Every structure is written in C-alpha cells, then in structure tokens.
Amino acid sequence: MAGRRGVPAAVHRATGNKSKLSKAKLDELQDAEDAIKPASDNVVCPTWLDPIGKQMWESIRRELAAVDLITNVDVYALALACDAYSKYVKASKAIKKEGLVLDHKNALGAVNKVANPNVSIAQKYATQFKSYCSEFGLSPAARARLAKPKDDDGDDEDDDLD
C-alpha cells in the first residue's frame, strides 16, 4: 500500500485534527473503526511478564486506553512487545556493565577481543519491540489502515492532494 499510513479518528481528535479533516470525515472514520473494533472488557496484564515488562505494559496500556485503542485481542501482542522491551533493557544493562567488547580465551590460551553477544541480543529485541508496536495492531496506524473510509468518488489515489 503506497502513501501515508492512516491515523485513527481518536488520534486526529486528540492531537487537534492537524490533518484538517471535516467533522463528517472524522465521524465516518470513527464509524468504520467502531465496526471492526473488538471488545475491551478484559485488558489485563499477563502474569508471566517480568517486572520491567509489566511496567512497560501498564505504561503503553494507559496511553492506548486513553484514546480507546486497546482491546482484548491486543493483550498478548502487547505482552510480547513488552517482553521484547524487557529483554532489550536487560541486554543493554549487560552491555553497559561489560562493555561492547569482551576478552575471550581461546583453546590455546590466547586472549582475543570479541563483540559482546548482548549487542546483537539488544538489537534483536529492539527490532522485535518496534515491529510489534507498529505492525501487529498495536500502532494506531495499523488500525486506521483497516478502518479507512472510502472516498465519495471511490478514488483514493490522490488523498494527499485534498
């Protein structure tokens, strides 16, 4: 899909409608979003998250709930994102403590400098966190793409020109 990612109606309203959408367009967008929105009556942090993950889960949940963008189906995707964040934090702390390069004693007894494996671990979990937040229904843009209303003329090729 080419072009900008859509933004949910609630985000447009919360940020002062910088896109200058008409009230009718915002209402149409909100109706389309409401039609596909799952329930949000059981948004509870999973018990298996560690304390860092739970803290991030609650922080993100509060922000999403404030604009009515968290639902029951988002709970485990959010938990996976927060688990990735927690592992990123732990790897980053290890890097801070141990440094980017470690001494490694090889089989012959020589000491070589090697990259700290926590660097690649941190990169992996940072990428996972970003991916979960932006691609698996946790980002407002992902929901808006699903709920984007059709233009009156059916042609949405020039949306950015309006």
pLDDT in tens, 34-84: 888 788 888 999 999 999 999 999 998 888 888 777 888 888 889 999 999
Q: How sure is the predictor about 162, in pLDDT bands with cuts at 50, 70 and 90? A: very low
What mean pLDDT comes out for the span 125-147?
Answer: 71
Structure confidence at residue 82 (pLDDT): 95
What mean pLDDT comes out for the span 120-125?
Answer: 97
Using alpha carbons only, how large is the chain's radius of gyration in Å? 21
Please report, rounded to a whole number, the percentage of residues in the chain having pLDDT higher than 70: 78
Mean pLDDT of the chain: 81
Predicted model pTM: 0.65
* Selected residue with higher pLDDT from 115 and 11: 115
Q: How many residues does the chain have?
A: 162
Cα end-to-end span (Å), the chain: 19
Structure tokens at 110: 């020589």
Angle at 142 between CA 138 and CA 146, to 5 degrees: 130
- Range scoring the smallest mean pLDDT among 116-120, 137-141, 157-161: 157-161
The 3-state DSSP composition of the chain as helix, strand, coil percent (nearest 5) reads 55, 5, 35
SS3 38: coil
Structure tokens at 51: 């304390």
Does the structure show a pLDDT above 60 at 89? yes
Does the structure show a pLDDT above 60 at 90? yes
